[in-house]
Each structure stands twice: as C-alpha cells, then as structure tokens.
Chain A
Amino acid sequence: MSKIENNIVTVLVENNAGVLARVVSLFGRRGYNIESLTVATTKDQNTSYITIVVNGDKEILDQIIKQVSRLEETISVRPLEESRALSRELLLIKLAIDDKTRSAIHEISTIYGATIVDLASNSMIVELTSYTAKIDAFLSIMKKYDIIEICRTGVTALERDSQKLL
C-alpha cells in the first residue's frame, strides 16, 4: 500500500445551491476523510472553487478524483502536487495574557510574521496567514501560553506557474 498523507484537491464546480452538500455527501458516503475544506466563488460568479485537504493513499486520492469528477456540477478536479501548490490558511488565536506574557507573545508573533489584531487588558488575538506547516509550528510554540480559542480557515490553494519559491 502506498503512503497515507494529506493531499490537496481543488474542485471547480457550478455555483448552485446545494453543490457543497453534494460534494461533502459524496465524501461522507464513501468514507473519505476531509482534513479541511474551503469554498469560495471564483472570478466567474457562476463557479466556485472548493479546496479540499484529504487524508489517504494514492489509491484513495485516485478514487476521490474520479468520484468527484462524476458529479454533474463538477467542472474540473485537480490534485495539487505539493511542489506546485501555493497554499495558505489563516489562523486566529485568542490568548489570555498578563504583563509578563504580553511582550513574549508579541515577540514570537513578530518572528513568525503574525499580527496582533486585537488587544484587551486580559487577552489578545493574533492573526497568522501562512502555509500549514508554519501555522502548526507557530501553534506548537503558543501552546505553552494560555490559549482561549483557536480558529483556522483550512487550506486554500492555487497552482503556481513559476518554478522558484518567492
């Protein structure tokens, strides 16, 4: 059996009522695991992009692509190779703070390029937009502070045309 890993699949669909339910129902019915899913309209308001991160081996990925392609409202399905994927997700994290931790969190956030978007006397909210691994790393450091709530959007991705990473 081939390696089980996270794969990004982008699905271009007709922007009809219920189209998301149809895609999700398919995943539920066939027992595929969704790690994250984002959906938004494209430059053409009649179509939507669904970006799905799925966990599975190559055979499962292959079946997912074929099964999603079968849906009547699917226009195209593409797996995004990791090397070609420009993927981002957004993290919002609310932390309880005191005078000691405030500056430490600020410092770490600066290193990661995260922004403090809300500051109250006892809490702050930090925003980080980045690729998944970096968000995971940021979170693992934040763990030792007093996290009140975490919100992640899940991955959205486009295929890059350039060979070099910017």
Chain B
Amino acid sequence: MLIKGAQAVIETLKEQGVDTVFGYPGGSVLEIYDALYESGDIRHILTAHEQGAAHAAEGYSRASGKVGVAIATSGPGATNLVTGIASAFMDSIPVVFITGNVPTSVIGKDSFQEIYIAGITMPITKHNFIVRRPEDLVPTLRNAFTIAKSGRPGPVLVDIPRDITQADIEYTPCGTAPTKPNPTVMRDDLRLAAQAIYEAERPVMFIGGGVVSSSAWSIVKKLIERTDMPVCHSLMATGLVRPTDAFDLGMVGMHGSATSAYAVKNCDLLVALGTRFSDRVATNARAFAPNAKIVHIDIDAAEIDKTIHAGVGLIGDIKKTVTSLLPLVEQKDCSKWRSELDEYKKEHEYVQKGEKNELIPKTIIETVWKKFSKEAIMTTDVGQHQMWAAQYCTVSRSRSFLTSGGLGAMGFGYGGAVGASFACPDRRVIHITGDGSFHMNIAEICTAVTYSLPIVTIVMNNEALGMVRQLQHVAMGDRFSTTIHGRKTDFARVAQGFGAQGITCCTQKEFEKALNLAKNTLDRPTVIDCRIAQELLVLPMIPGGKGADDIITE
C-alpha cells in the first residue's frame, strides 16, 4: 500500500513490536509526530530534554531486554541525544535512535538546525544510516533493529531527512526483523575450557554484563553450582549474585571488595563470562589475575585478547555456550579454597560503619531493598552513590540494577528510571543519585509527574561532587578544586515545585519514615533528600593503574 514516509516509520516500529517511544518533537520530525498523533498503538513519552529521552530509551531496554526507541528532531535535538547514545554504546544496549534532518535538497548547506549527526555518532553507534531515498526508509529501519539486537547489542541511529517522511512510499507489512545468527563454539574448545576447570584448584568465576544481555543468569548459576566456584562480578553484572550467597565475592575492580581482589590475585583459573576487562576492573591489566589461566567467553571476538590474554577464548553467546559447556563439566568441590576466602573476608573486608541512627549509604541502600524487595528496579547516576548502590545491592534478579557503567554518564539515572517505569509498570523504580548528578537532569521530574510514575529518588546529598572530591583527597592532597560547590538547592522543594512529593531527612529513622511515605505514594514521584556526611569515601579503592596490593581500605 502507498503511505507517507512518516506513516511508514510508525508502521515499521509497530511491526518490530515497539509500543513505547521516548522523544521530543521539532520541525524536522513534524510529519513523524503527526503520524504518531493518530497512532493508538504507539505511546509517545515526552521528556524534558532529548538527553532524558535517550536515557529513558536505554533504561527501557536495560530493564526489559527489548530494543528501546528514541526520536529527536534535527540539529540540537540530535546532538542532545549524543550522551545517551554513547552510554548505550559503551554498555552494549540495543536502542534505535531516530533523528529528523533537513530535506535532502538543503543537506550540506548549513541549513537551520542542520547537523551531520551520522558523522557525530559514527564512533558511538554500532552502525548508523542516513536515509537518502524514500524506498530505502523501511528496509533501513528494519535493518536498524536487526543490527541493534544481533550479536553484541548496541545503539543504531537512523537519520531521516524531512522530505523522506513526506514522500509516498510503497509499504508492505512484515514481521519482526530477524536476529543474525551467533557463532557456535566448537566442541573441542569447550573441552579445553572444561579441562581447565577440572584442573583448577583455586578457580574464580568473573561475570559481566554479557550474562545479563544474553539472559544467561539461570544457566550460569547452574555452572556455579556444578563447579563450586566463588564468583565476582563487574558493575554491569550487579544484582545477580547476593552478598548472602556462599559463592559471592562481591564486585571486582577499582571499588570492588577486598576479598575479590585477593581472590583474583591468587586464583589459578579465571572463568570470565561476558566481560571486557575494562580499566575499572583490571586497574592494572598486567597485574590482573597474574597466576591464572584465563577462560574468556564473549560474543565479541574483538574482546578476546584485547586487554587480557586468554588461554582459552570462546566466541559465542553466553547462554548458548554455557549450556553446551555444562554437560562437559564435572562436579567440583572448592570448599577449601572458598573457606580460605571466607577467612580473608572476615579479617580484611571493609565494612562501612556509622553512628546509631546516622544516615550512611550502606544502610540507605539496604533499607531500600528491604522495603521494596526484589520487585524493585534500581537505577543510579554516576559517582559515589553509584558505587555504594552497587556495593550494597542485595537483589538477585537480572535487569534490576541499571547504571551507566562504561560511559559513566551523570544524569543517566532519572531518564533511566522513566524508561524502566514504562518497561516494567508493575515494579517500583528507585533512583539513587547524588546532589551533583541530580542537578544534571533534574528537569525530568516533570516527566514522571506528567505520566504519574511513582519513581522514588534518593539523593545521597553530601553537598559535594563526592567522587571527584574523593579523588582529590587521594591524589591531590585535599585540594578540593570546585567540588565543594556551595549550592543551596533544596531538593524537596524543587520536587514539590515540579508537582512531586519532596522530603528531607537527616537520620535513619526519618529516612525509614520517608521511605514508607514514598512507598505508599503511587500517583506521583517522590524525592527524598538524604543528608550524609561529606567526608565519606567509597572504599575499598584500588587507584587507577595500581593492582590488588595497593588496595586502600581506610
């Protein structure tokens, strides 16, 4: 059938199973928004800022596993998406970004709100397209979905000049775009991995975000049970292993646990699943797991041997590969090794402590999980609060801890929470932030108010840009350049101004009361401003470039 290009955009989104898009209108996407106006099948969520829409789309995808979609107009609309695109790229989150552009006749003439967004986003997208001919529009959009969700997922941008959305297009409905097949690991390679596991006396498993994106947690758990291995995780795999699990070592890396640093340093085998050994994990790549044979399983061939040389490198989907590996692995007993680690944990592990009734990050996070149970989804911004939220996370459910890990984008949290709220309307979304991060995209409170989202924001307010302040404490001799900012923002009143509930609390008791109130407020968001001590540090800490021996625990 012959329809307008803009209509074809909507029809193609529908056939891909999209029911929610985040975005902001503008001149170059007038026709697309006009088509949305009539569409009852696609719900459009208007954010305060395109960056909020980009983070919402990636938050939606992080929470649901589906492909997120964000729409923005040309020029500033497109450039405002960039941080969210980069955040999705660094964490391998499948999102299709649609930008309008000026008509093809005036492209390249420095027209009003014209930006070469395909050029700008080339290094931060898995792939991007400019649709130059009307007949390319629908195949390109379908291809964008295929690329976004195939193999190692990632963001894809489709730039659509306005005249393409106005053109008549022959549209034939189609099913969901296919996913490209993944590589299959050879049986001989699986045997090598199984043999390495069999021979190891002090093995450690290290799980990363790939375990989440391939929905592999239940099968990986079986491998853990079979091998009896202790397990550490990257930031991206937070919220799978619980501190109460016998095999848990905690997070590994710059702000990982002392026990995991000790375990990785002393292990004779490291089984790494779906991780890229970032510099926040392998703070010093040469000193990382120095005595271990490495079995590295990842879907991206380029990650094998990129940072850490793998003795056995298997390229494949984590779920599929671990499923094939499991029958080849014999039941193991690592109790001796695990009790050595338990001893170490008892003696050396850092535990954050506060006075009675003092508000400290550890109890804030633990109280949240106690109050909201595993039904909640937590999103974070970036900084000290993010690390505390990760360190004290007690949930064990895939896609329940959403954070901008690779890019480390302050301002992700609220947009992410909006996206997660639409992805999982039956679950409560808790947004953990700091006073620095919250300022970045605080305007998104209006989005949550508009759509009656009961997002609970907890501001760990230390009246400082805490993480940088901490770095200045460690590396700059306490010269706190700009980080003790002297802002006077009253977050509770700001929240009220947006139409949300706002509460300030200074003690654990007040916090619990505020949290109860927030839990029972279902028609609008709540902001709880928690006043915490400025001097608190995220510990342990391994400074960048250093190794496990240089860990700071006090």
Contact = CB atoms under 8 A, between A and B. Distances in A.
A70 B300 contact: yes
Interface stretch (B20-28, B122-130, B209-217): B122-130
A17 B116 CA distance: 13
A59 B305 contact: yes
A18 B118 contact: yes
Nearest to A25: B122
A110 interface: no
Interface string A45-73: 00000000000000100110011011111
B123 A26 contact: yes
Contact of B301 (A21, A66, A73): A66
B348 interface: no
Interface string B102-133: 00000000000000001100110011001010
Nearest to B151: A70
B191 interface: no
A160 B326 CA distance: 45
Contacts of B32: none
A29 interface: yes
Contact of A72 (B123, B126, B130, B301): B126
A72 B305 contact: no
Q: Give the one of A21, A22, A59 with max B CB within 10 A.
A: A22
A60 B305 CA distance: 11
Where chain A touches its partner, the secondary structure class is helix
B301 A22 contact: no
B120 to A, nearest CB: 11
B147 interface: yes
A63 B304 CA distance: 9
Contacts of B118: 18
Interface string A16-46: 0110011001100100000000000000000
A29 B305 contact: no
Which of A59, A69, A70 has the most CB atoms of chain B within a 10 A radius of its CB? A70
Nearest to A16: B129
B302 interface: yes
Nearest to A73: B127
B127 A72 contact: yes
B306 interface: yes
Contact of B302 (A18, A22, A29, A66): A66
Contacts of B302: 63, 66-67, 69-70
Contact size range, B: 10 to 19
Contacts of A21: 119, 122
Contacts of A18: 118-119, 122, 130
B123 A25 contact: yes
A62 B122 CA distance: 22
A21 B119 CA distance: 8
B187 to A, nearest CB: 23
A66 B306 CA distance: 10
Nearest to B303: A66
A29 B122 CA distance: 10
Interface in B139-156: 147
B317 to A, nearest CB: 16
Most buried by B among A22, A62, A72: A72
Contacts of A22: 122
A22 to B, nearest CB: 6
Contacts of B132: 17
A121 to B, nearest CB: 44
Contacts of A73: 127
A18 B126 CA distance: 14
Nearest to A63: B306
Contact of A69 (B123, B301, B305): B301
Contacts of B123: 25-26, 29
A64 B126 CA distance: 16
Interface string B305-316: 110000000000
Contacts of A71: 127
Interface in B21-67: none
B118 to A, nearest CB: 7
Contacts of B305: 59, 62-63
Nearest to A24: B122
Interface string B290-306: 00000000001110011
A56 to B, nearest CB: 14
B307 to A, nearest CB: 10
Contacts of B301: 66, 69-70
A70 B119 CA distance: 18
A9 to B, nearest CB: 15
Contacts of A25: 122-123
A77 to B, nearest CB: 11
A84 B312 CA distance: 30
Contacts of B119: 18, 21
Nearest to B304: A66
A8 B300 CA distance: 24
Contacts of A67: 302
A26 to B, nearest CB: 7
Contacts of A59: 305
A71 B305 CA distance: 19
A115 to B, nearest CB: 40
A71 B151 CA distance: 12
A70 B127 CA distance: 10
Nearest to B143: A72
A50 B417 CA distance: 44
Nearest to A26: B123
Interface of B: 118-119, 122-123, 126-127, 130, 132, 147, 300-302, 305-306
15 contacts: A17-B130, A18-B118, A18-B122, A21-B122, A29-B123, A59-B305, A62-B305, A63-B302, A63-B305, A66-B302, A66-B306, A69-B301, A70-B301, A70-B302, A72-B127
Top 10 A-B residue pairs of the complex, sorted by shortest distance between their CB atoms: A66-B302, A72-B127, A29-B123, A25-B122, A67-B302, A66-B301, A25-B123, A70-B302, A72-B147, A22-B122
Interface of A: 17-18, 21-22, 25-26, 29, 59, 62-63, 66-67, 69-73
Given A25-B123, A69-B301, A72-B127, 17 more contacts: A17-B132, A18-B118, A18-B130, A21-B119, A22-B122, A25-B122, A26-B123, A29-B123, A59-B305, A63-B302, A66-B302, A66-B306, A69-B302, A70-B300, A70-B302, A72-B147, A73-B127
